[in-house]
Amino acid sequence: MNTKISKLCTLAALFCVSTAGFAAECIAPANPGGGWDFTCRQIGKIMYDIGAVEKPIQVTNMAGAGGGLAFNHVVAERNDDADLIVAASSATSTRLAQNAYAGMTADQVRFVGAIGADPGVIVVAKDSPFQTLGDLLNAIKSKPGSVTFAGGSATGGFDHLKPLMLLQRVGFTDIAKVKYISLDGGADAITQTIGGFTQAMTGDMSEVVGFLKAGEIRVLAVLTERRIPGFDSIPTAKEQGFDVVAVNWRGLYIPRGVSDQTFDIWAQRLQKVADSAEWKEAMAANGLAPFTKVGGDFQSYIDDVVAEVRKLSQELGVIQ
């Protein structure tokens, strides 16, 4: 039983959360609502419901610095806490790769796994001349300035990086020439593409489903391992010959200083959630696609993603 008292400081207030009587604590590095909070609450609830843990998991919201406050708290104050898990996503690995957490690095924690994701997509308007992902990438190779992407992330953010990863797979390395317009969210980005102001949109599946069902766009590729259930007509980039998996995954990390046995225990618990009917229902209700990488397999994936994002960000001038 975890009987420690955790003193968690935010920019707004000082408060204490007692985890006594709980199996463990899950930190959501954001305010209630949103992806990190969803991850803690849904995964924690299901772990308890299916018997993966004996007692409920306490959820603590710790917003600040885009996840940086929670990351620093775990590294500096909770490095050997075997009863702590933290919600993470693609934003976590991207910010670590870009040194957004003030010098902290991905190897200061242990990434347990991801068990669902909002798939990355490359989208064009319904009347676009580009019929396949290959058509689009070849046009950029031939004339880089002929295609402008719209995305909902900042320059150098994950939406921006998705097409750059694809272009690297076809040998195009002068990525600074690729045009990208940063807009305030995916809805604005897709509107620009439908209106013909940009030639393509890079974003997440959840942002484009309504436009796809209305027949206003075509999705050239989903950036997942396999096709998405319910959208089986949309090919993956991998099956078109471009080995890129870029998803906004939902998962967990734990403190670096815990034992390998503790890591394995949390990995097993997370795998049980992934295999449960309850999690499949939660994914369907929240627009997530299957994406299960747990244990050492996921840590290797994170290492590769961080290295690639760092390299691309340096080439773009986002980081030194």
Per-residue confidence in pLDDT tens, the chain, 320 aa = 343 434 443 333 333 344 457 889 999 999 888 789 999 999 999 999 999 999 999 999 999 988 999 999 999 999 999 999 999 999 899 999 999 998 999 999 999 999 999 999 999 999 999 999 999 999 999 999 999 999 988 888 889 999 999 999 999 989 999 999 998 888 899 999 999 999 999 999 988 888 999 999 999 999 998 888 888 999 999 999 999 999 999 999 999 999 999 999 999 999 999 999 999 999 988 878 889 999 998 999 999 999 999 999 998 888 88
> Distance between terminal CA atoms of the chain?
45
Backbone angles phi, psi at 89, to 5 degrees: -155, -175
Q: Which two tokens stand for residue 272?
A: 């049980």
Residue 202 contacts residue 165 (beta carbons within 8 Å): no
Residue 179 contacts residue 149 (beta carbons within 8 Å): yes
Round to whole Å and give the CA distance between 204 and 199.
17
The β-bridge relationship of strands 109-125 and 217-222 is antiparallel
Residue 196 contacts residue 189 (beta carbons within 8 Å): no
To 10 degrees, the CA torsion angle through 206, 209, 211, 215? 160
The β-bridge relationship of strands 109-125 and 293-294 is antiparallel
Q: Which two tokens stand for residue 267?
A: 């990995």
Q: Which two tokens stand for residue 162?
A: 């998705």
Round to whole Å and give the CA distance between 121 and 221.
6
pLDDT of residue 20: 56
Round to whole Å and give the CA distance between 276 and 219.
30
Q: Which two tokens stand for residue 3?
A: 């009987």
Round to whole Å and give the CA distance between 3 and 251.
25
Residue 112 contacts residue 270 (beta carbons within 8 Å): yes
* Residue in 178, 215, 209 with CA at minimum distance from that of residue 312: 178
To 10 degrees, the CA torsion angle through 174, 180, 182, 185? -110
| Helix, strand, or coil (residue 15) | strand
Domains and their CATH numbers in the chain: 5-117+249-316 (3.40.190.150), 119-240 (3.40.190.10)
User: What is the helix (H) or strand (E) element at residue 88, kind and residue range?
Assistant: strand 84-89
Round to whole Å and give the CA distance between 42 and 24.
14
Residue 84 contacts residue 305 (beta carbons within 8 Å): no
Q: Is 15 exposed, middle or buried (0-12, 13-18, 19+ CB in 10 A)?
A: exposed
pLDDT of residue 9: 39
Give the amino acid at 298.
F
| Helix, strand, or coil (residue 147) | coil
User: What is the helix (H) or strand (E) element at residue 238, kind and residue range?
Assistant: none
For residue 215, give the DSSP letter. Answer: T
Length of the chain measured in residues = 320
